[in-house]
Each structure stands twice: as C-alpha cells, then as structure tokens.
A and B are shown apart, each in its own frame.
Chain A
Amino acid sequence: MKIRVLSLILTIALALSMVAMFSSCGKTNYAENNTKIKIGLSGPLTGGAAMYGIAVENSAKLAVEEINAKGGLNGILFELAMLDDKHEANNIATNYASLYEGGMQVSLGTVTTKPGLEFKGYANADKVFFLTPSATGDDIPEFSNGYQMCFADSDQGTASAGVFNAEYQGKKVGVFFKADDDYSVGIKNNFVAALDKSFGEVKLASFTEATASSFTQQVSDLKDCDIIFMPIYYDPAALFMKQGNGIVKADAIYYGCDGLDGIDAVDGFDINSITQGVSYLSHFNSNTTEGAAKEYIDAYRAKFGEDAPLNQFGAAAYDCVYAIYDAMKFAIEKNNAEIPANIAPDALCDILTAVFDSKDFEFRGITGAPEEDGRSTITWTDANGNATNGHVNKTPVSYTVKSVTSAQ
C-alpha cells in the first residue's frame, strides 16, 4: 500500500515541478503585465529596528502618493511593495526573489546595511537599479546598479573628524560606539584614523545588543571627557545622555552622526534636562522649521500621526522616490528614453544609471544643506563631473540640537 502513497507523492511533486517549469520557462520580464511602475524594497518592519523600516515605508508611500496625485510619470502611476526582513540578511533571498518575481522594476534596496550586502548581489545579477535611503555601508554601491542617498560610513567618520580637528582642538575626546553594529564600528574606525594626533589618546567605550539596557558603566568610563563622539542611533544615545546626567562633565558636548537625528524627540527624554551640549553632522534634521524638509514633516505628520516614527531614514526614502522619479523624467526629456509601465527592470536600470552617472542630472532634495529655495543639491557625480560609483554627493550640515546650558 505504501507504494501507492509513494507514487502519489512523487506524481504530485513531479506535477508541481512541471507547473513551476512551464509557468516560468522563458519568462524574463516579470513586469510585463504591470500597469504601474513597481518600486520594491526590503527593511525591518518588526523587531528591534522596526522604527527605521516603518519610517522608510511611510515616507516612500507618501512620496509615491504625492507623485501619483500629480499624475505620475506622464500618466504612468507608481506603486510600492515593501517586505519585512527584520534587519536579518538571511531573509533577503526570499524577499528579493518575491519582489523581483512580483514585478519590481526599480528598487530602494534595503533600509539597513547587513541585509543590503545580500541584496546588492541579487540586484546586480538581474540588473535591477536600486537607490538605498539608509544602508550606509561603504560596500553597498559596489556594483554599477547600486546607489546611496545617505552618506557612506567612511565619509561620515572622516567628516566628523574634520569637524573635531577644526573646532575642538585640545579637548579630551571619548568615543561611545556599538561594537556589534557595522555602521557604528565603521564610522568609529574612520573617525579615529582621521582624528589629529594632537588629541592624544581617545577614550573608547562600547556596548552591544546584549548590554544595551543600561550604560551605567560606560558613563563612568567616559565621565572625564570634554567631548564624546557617538556614532550610534538616537535611542541608545538618549539613554546614555539620561544616565550620564550629573556624572558626565556638565559642559561636555555630545557629537553624533546622522543616526543621532531624532534625539530631541525621544519619548520620555527631555533633552533640556541635561546640561551637556548636543550636536550632530547629518543630512537631515527632523525638527527643522524651514524649507522643503518642513513640508515633508508636516505632510508626514498629517498622514501618519504624531506617534509614527519620523527620522532621517524616512526623509532619505522620500528623497529616493523623488530622485528616481526625477531621473525618469530627465531620461524621457533629455535622453529621449521610453519608459512604459511594463518596462523590464534591466532596461530601466540602463536608463537610470546613465542619468545618475551624468553630471547634468542634479536632484533637488530635502536632505542635505538647504539652499535658497529650501532644497539641497544632490548629485552622484563629484566636483569634476565624474561619476562617484553610487556614493552620494551632497553637503552635510552640522546641527546644534542644544548648546551647553550653564550648571544650575
């Protein structure tokens, strides 16, 4: 009797394989039935990093809806598909394949770096253009189809060290970083390497996911420093500042990178309750009161409410969608490209890389240092007009969230 079961199972398996074979054989363009241009991405929507992924999802959705409301790309609308990767690289094979076979034509890559290191290879094999809002790893734009909207880790570390070398000479420097996070370690290494030798020994203190609940000891370790560099995200930074209140030097300065954006909006943390100063070098300030960034923040708050996560991740995603849209318009108008709604991803990739690598293409975004019109200039070419291999070229801004308040 078991023979019957066995043959049944085998027949079913065979039939399934055949179906799989015939349904996909010879099909190269999964997007051929698309009626809208499909933008796909993967990011953490659950788990500890969910607030970054959710901010990206909301912002990208906002941008897509705005573009569609304005009639899209000469009548062709956009749609967004986002899958959850829980900030884990081993979910990317599934997510990428599902997005690609679901008709993704252009992508925002991944929200975080580690999954992004997987994503870029698959996207390169299929030639899918991606512009990541916030995967900051130096290696993310390794292949010709990958671009970043955020600053790469090495740029941030070097740029911050430049600020220190220029403004904080002679102070005792401490670094507080997350030892199991490539973003944090990458920035820290570049920062320490680029820092003037005249600063002397840099005091290091680190934490990991496993020791992130309390920073009592790290506060003790860094309490004598005049300036503490924090290449970490805002939530652990807020905890450090809170626990360091009264122990760290009252006139010390906390200096961070783009991850620190949002520090003044953490629930339950009143930034004015600490005496120390807080500054960061970033491409976005989520508390800005002027320019296009303000319009984005208002629209975001109106649509998703006061409790929705809002940070530089989201702002960059908003810019990403508009940059892709602008690049498509540029290609149609200047390069006479044709972009139908069911364009194959590889064809679209060729069109978009040509635009992004061209020195004539200049995107006016909400991240970066705003100019007269409230928007910043963002390009993917350097000052000489040469392509930067996907690394973004925009001006960072040093924001002072609060300056040192005199001790009571």
Chain B
Amino acid sequence: MKFVKHYLSYIVIGALAVIISAVGAAGGIPGTFSALLEQSVIAIILAVSLNMVVGFLGELSLGHAGFMCIGAYVGGKLAVLLSSSLGGTNIVTVILALIVGGLCAGICGFIVGLPALRLRGDYLAIVTLAFGEIVKNIFENSEFFGGQTGLKTPEFTTQRSTRFVLFLIGAVIVLLTLFVIQNIIRSKHGRAITAIRDNEIAARATGINVTKYKLMGFIVSAVFAGLAGVLYSYSQQSLQAKTFDYNYSIEILVIVVLGGMTVNGSIVSAVLITALNNILQTNLGGSFAVAKDLIYAVVLILLVIYRNAPALKSFREKYNLANLWKRLVKPKHDPSRVGDDSVRWDVVPTKISMDEVLSTDVVIDTTGDNSADIGERGGNK
C-alpha cells in the first residue's frame, strides 16, 4: 500500500506514457491530442520544478520562463550545430542537448540563487522577473541565436510518425523530475529546505546550512526548467524569445498555486489548466475568441477564491472530493496505526499561510490512515 501511495504518480504517468507511445507508434493519435500531450508534459515539468522554489523553498519566483528560455536556446542551438554531423533528432543529440541545456539553466539558477540569499519575498520576486526579462532581451537580440527571426531548431512535431517520440522523451523527463524532486523532498535535505521556508532564522540556529539549501533549491528548479526548455525547442520549428516573457512565468505560477503547491497537485493542475486552455482555444475561434480570455479569467478568480478563501474553509472540507471518497470507502479510523509522515510531508502548510495555521487547530485529517499530521502526531506522543 505504502509503495503504491509513494509511487502513484510515477505509475500513472509511466503507464500512460507506455500506452500512448504504443498508440502513437501505430500512428493512431490525432494531432490535437498530441499537441495537448506535449504541452501538458512541458507544463508538468515546469510546474513541478517551480514548485520546488515556490512550494518547498517558499520563495516567489516570477522568472521561471527565463530558465526555460536558456535551456531552449542553448539546447536548440547545440542540436542545430550537431544536426550536420549526428542529425538533429538523433537520440544522442537529444540527450546531449538536454544535458547541456539543463546544465546552462542550472548555472543561471545558481546565479539567481545568489541574490536570494540576501533578498526576501517580493524583492526576490522582482529580481527573478528581472532575470527572466534580461535573458529574453539578450536572446532576442543575439544574431548567433537567430535574432529577431528566431532560431530554427530540429523538431519532432511536424511528422506524425515521430511525434510520439517527443512525448515519450517528455514522459521520461517527467519521471526523472519527479524522482529527483520527490527524493530531495523526502530526504533530510528536503526537511532542511522546508525548515528554511517555515522559519529561516530558526533553521539557521539549528545548524542548517541555509546558503547551501537555498542554492540547491534554485539550481534543481532551474535545471528542470532548462530540460523543459530543450523539450519545448524540439516541439517548435523556430524559437521566439518573446514566448518566454513574464506572462509565461506567471502562467506557470498560476498552475503551481492552483495545484496547492504540492507535487501531485502541480501535476494535476498542469494537465487541467493546459486542457482548459486548449479546449477554450480550439472551440472559441472567430468572433468568440475574446470570450475565452473572459472565461479563463472568471474561472481563475472563482477557483482561487473557492480553494483559498478562509470563509469557505468548512464548506471545502465537507465537500472535498478526497474526503467524500474517504467517507465512502474508509469509515474506520484506527488510532493505533502510526503513519509515515513523509507521505503527507508535502502538504505541511507553508510559511505563507502560517498566520492561519497558528490561529486554528492543526488537526486537519484524523479520519484516514494519514494520521501523520502535525497535531495528531503531537497528541500521540
């Protein structure tokens, strides 16, 4: 049971990847669905990696698209340079592009992480936004990277026969992202990172190397954004720096926040938001196009208010899908069972909602076998 719970996301994504690739290899996936799959995979990687900084490190980052931009351009350029010798979509080229793109993004993550040591909250947010815009501005004016007309990169998407390959690579990277980030979070490093998020001064006092862990958070997050960038460059025929502006970073942030700043939540919300946008975009064309932004905006506002408004808290808990399910399936509660708290580790309230936490009882869930929440555990001991 524990195994399944731990690795639920891996199993679902892995199984989906195998099935879809098999169908894709047979040429059976329509282009609309392929496009949605590619975008979802990229969105998942971006959201999970941004969640590393926003959810676990507790810092607001508005420059995630900047890291993606670096990965896309560096990886894409490398693929272009290798295309004459190795072939642009050769698996060796793809792996090299991913490694180099990810590394370059990681180095920039380190550079952005440095001011993070000195700056807090919204000041850091504007620095990350500034970083993203600077990167975009430099790439769009660099002739080496194609300048205004954009960088023509090798791609998988125009030929139906190779399209599923991109999705397959993407699914592998999603699994890799999950593996690395979940493992960091579930290890002592992860606890150190969340300790810094919840109270930096206290964490420092207990001997946690704040510098190391902050940089680690930024670098890991940037590397995976870079990988998503390389993936993106393989999905486009030419890269346009304009794509990676702060609006893109904000879109990723929206996904992360709607996902409740957890890993699994980010995955679900990445898929749902991508699908919502896709459905609106393909169904509301012509004169109705303007309505789709309106609908998206209203859905966004209502969703955030519904999920976060303190006044709706009791309502949410009562009619929460997960709770309904539990009530139907698992009415029993066995207090003698001691849960493994790493399972619920990722839903510890962030420092951002600390006020709310401190002013209410923390016993969130005593019905299920997740008897690992802070309050419950404290009581048992």
Contact = CB atoms under 8 A, between A and B. Distances in A.
Contacts of B158: 121-122, 124-125
A45 B281 CA distance: 11
Interface residues of A, number: 53
Contacts of B27: 25
B281 A137 contact: no
B374 interface: no
Interface in B279-322: 281-282, 284-287, 289-290, 292-293
Interface stretch (A3-11, A235-243, A292-300): A3-11
Given A89-B243, A139-B149, A2 B285 contact: no
Interface stretch (B8-16, B78-86, B216-224, B252-260): B8-16
Contact of A21 (B28, B150, B282): B28
B269 interface: no
A407 interface: no
B28 A96 contact: no
The B interface is mostly helix, strand or loop, or mixed, namely helix
A217 to B, nearest CB: 18
B148 A185 contact: yes
Given A46-B290, A137-B149, A1 B330 contact: yes
B19 to A, nearest CB: 5
In this complex, the member of B30, B155, B292 whose beta carbon has the largest number of chain A beta carbons within 10 angstroms is: B30
B328 to A, nearest CB: 10
A91 B31 CA distance: 13
A72 B22 CA distance: 44
B23 interface: yes
A121 B155 CA distance: 10
Interface in A1-36: 1-3, 6, 9-10, 13-14, 17-18, 20-25
A32 to B, nearest CB: 15
Interface stretch (A174-182, A263-271, A327-335, A361-369): A174-182
B32 interface: yes
A186 interface: yes
A90 B38 CA distance: 11
B32 A101 contact: yes
Contact of A93 (B12, B38, B140): B38
B236 to A, nearest CB: 6
A228 interface: no
Interface string A78-106: 00111110001111011111101100000
Interface of A: 1-3, 6, 9-10, 13-14, 17-18, 20-25, 45-46, 50, 57, 80-84, 88-91, 93-98, 100-101, 114, 117-118, 120-122, 124-125, 137, 139, 179-182, 185-186
17 contacts: A2-B1, A2-B8, A18-B23, A20-B33, A25-B27, A25-B28, A45-B289, A81-B285, A83-B282, A90-B236, A94-B36, A94-B278, A97-B34, A121-B158, A121-B237, A125-B158, A186-B149
Q: Which 5 A/B pairs are nearest by Cβ-Cβ distance? A: A97-B31, A45-B289, A84-B289, A21-B28, A98-B282
Interface of B: 1, 4-5, 8, 11-12, 15-16, 19-20, 23, 26-36, 38-39, 140-141, 147-150, 155, 157-160, 232, 235-238, 240, 242-243, 278, 281-282, 284-287, 289-290, 292-293, 329-330
